Amino acid sequence: MESYGRVDPDTGLSSRFIDFLKTFDEMVDYAIESKVDLVVFSGDAYKTRDPTPTQQREFARRISRLSSHNIPIFLLIGNHDLPNAIGRATTTEIFDTLAVKNVYVANKPDVFRIPTSGGDIQVAALPWLRRNALMSKEDAKNLNVEQINQRLQEVLTSVVAALAAKLDPSLPAVLAAHVWVQGATTGTEKGMTIGQEHVLMPGNVARPEFDYIALGHIHKHQVVHPNPPVVYAGSLERLDFSDEKDDKGFYVVEIKGKGQVVFEFHPVSARRFLTIEVKLESSDADPTATVLGAIAGQLDKVKDAIVRLDLVLPEGMESQLRDGDLRDALKDAYFFTVARDIQSQARVRMGLSGVEGLTPLDALQKYLEVKSTPPDRMKVLMEYGQKVVERE
C-alpha cells in the first residue's frame, strides 16, 4: 500500500513502500536472531494480483534471507494473490516453480509435512478458494445469497475436516487458513460486505486436531478463539486511518505438546497514523488560533506521523483560516491532509414587516442580530457599513 507517501529521493521508491519493507525486516530479523523453526505467512503478499517487478524483488529478498538461514517458510495464497483468470500463476507461485530451498507454497488445500530444526511439523493449508471452486453454477441454481453462503460454509467445513483427517496425531499441527471467520473485528476491510464472502464459524476451524490456527485475510491482529488458538496476525504495517489505534506486528508461537501452546504478539515500529479533530464555532474570533492550539496539544504525536486534520466549521469561516500557518504547524508530520466539513446554515428570513422603513445601517444591524453575530464582529461590520453609506 503506497498511499500517503512520496518518492524517496535516494531509492526512487515510494516512501510508504519502504515503511512496509522496514516492518517486514523487523519480523525477518527477529526470526533469524531467535532461530525460529518455521515462518508461516497466511496470504496477501501484495495489494494487487499484478505486483510490480520491484515489489516482487523486495519480497523475494526477504524470503531468501530466511531461507539462507535454514528457516522454512510456508506461503499461503490469499485472495489478493490470485490471478484474474484460472490458469494464470499466483503472485508467490514462482518460489514453488523454482523449487527455492525451504519455501513451501500452498495454492490448494493440502497437508504439508515440513522438517525444521525442532523436528517435523504439519501445516494444513486452506488458501483462499474462489466461489466457483467450491460450488458449481448448478449447485447455486435457485439459491438466494443466504443459502449460497450457507452452502459455501458447509463445503469449507468439509474441506477443513478432510485436512484434519490427514494429520499424524503424533506430530504438532498448524492450520494456515486465508478466510473470514465469524466474529472477527475488521480493520481496513470495513468497506467489505460479509454477505459477499464465504464465512466460517470459529468452531469450524478450532478443531482439536490442530494445535494452532494461523489466519490471514483480516488486517487487525486478534484472537478469535482461545483453545485451540484461532489467531489473526494482521498486517505488519498500518494501511490507512482505520488502523490508527491498532498495534501492528506478528505472533511468536511455541508448541510444547498437544494442547500446550504459548503464543505472544510482538509489535513492530509501524508508521503512526493520527487524526486531529477540531470543531469551530461561528463565535470564534480567530479560528486559525483555535486549530493551531489543537495541533500544539498533540505536537509530540505529529512528528513523523501520517496526520489527518479534520475540521468542522460553519459556512463562511473557511476564508478566515490561514492555510500557510496550518501547513507550518504540521511541517514535522511525515504526511498530512486537511479535511473540511463545512456546515451549511439555514437561511433566516427577516420578513418584510420588520425591514420596511429601516435605514440601510438599521437593516444591516437587524440582519446581524438575526444571524447571532458576535458583538465584537458586529461592531467591525457596522463600522464598514457606515463607511460604505458615507461614500454613497
For the chain, 392 residues long, give each residue's pLDDT as a single digit of tens: 788 988 989 889 999 999 999 999 999 999 999 999 999 999 999 888 888 999 999 999 999 999 999 999 999 998 888 776 666 778 888 888 778 899 999 999 999 999 999 999 999 999 988 766 666 666 666 777 677 778 888 889 999 999 999 999 999 999 999 999 988 988 665 544 444 567 889 999 999 999 999 999 999 999 999 999 999 999 999 999 999 999 999 999 999 988 799 999 999 999 999 999 999 998 999 999 999 999 999 999 999 999 999 999 998 898 899 999 999 999 999 999 999 998 876 555 555 455 556 788 888 888 888 877 888 888 888 888 888 877 76
pLDDT given at position 1: 79
Looking at the chain, which residues constitute the CATH 3.60.21.10 domain(s)?
15-267
Which residue type is seen at 148?
A: I
Query: How far is the C-alpha of 309 from the C-alpha of 84, rounded, in Å?
Result: 38
pLDDT given at position 66: 97
Cβ-contact 173, 211 below 8 angstroms: yes
User: What is the SS3 assignment for 206?
Assistant: coil
Cβ-contact 183, 224 below 8 angstroms: yes
pLDDT given at position 312: 94
Which residue type is seen at 41?
A: F
Q: How many helices (H) and strands (E) does the chain have?
A: 12, 16
Instruction: Show the 3-state SS of 70-103.
Output: CCCEEEECCHHHCCCCCCCCCCCHHHHHCCCCCE
pLDDT given at position 161: 96
Query: How far is the C-alpha of 339 from the C-alpha of 128, rounded, in Å?
Result: 37
Calculate helix-pair angle for 375-391, 360-370, nearest 10 degrees: 160
Is the pTM here over 0.75, yes or no? yes
* Sign, Cα dihedral of 205, 208, 214, 219: positive
* Sign, Cα dihedral of 64, 240, 201, 82: negative
Which residue type is seen at 180?
A: W
Beta-sheet strand order (sheet of 306-314): 273-279, 306-314, 335-343
Fold classification of 15-267 is: Purple Acid Phosphatase; chain A, domain 2 (3.60.21)
The 10 Å Cβ neighbour count of residue 97 is 9
Beta strand 222-225 pairing with 230-232 = antiparallel
pLDDT given at position 162: 97
The 10 Å Cβ neighbour count of residue 65 is 16
Give buried/exposed letters for 261-299 (b at 16+ CB in 10 A, else e): beeebeebebbbbbebebebebebeebbebbbebbeeee
Beta-sheet strand order (sheet of 39-41): 39-41, 73-76, 103-106
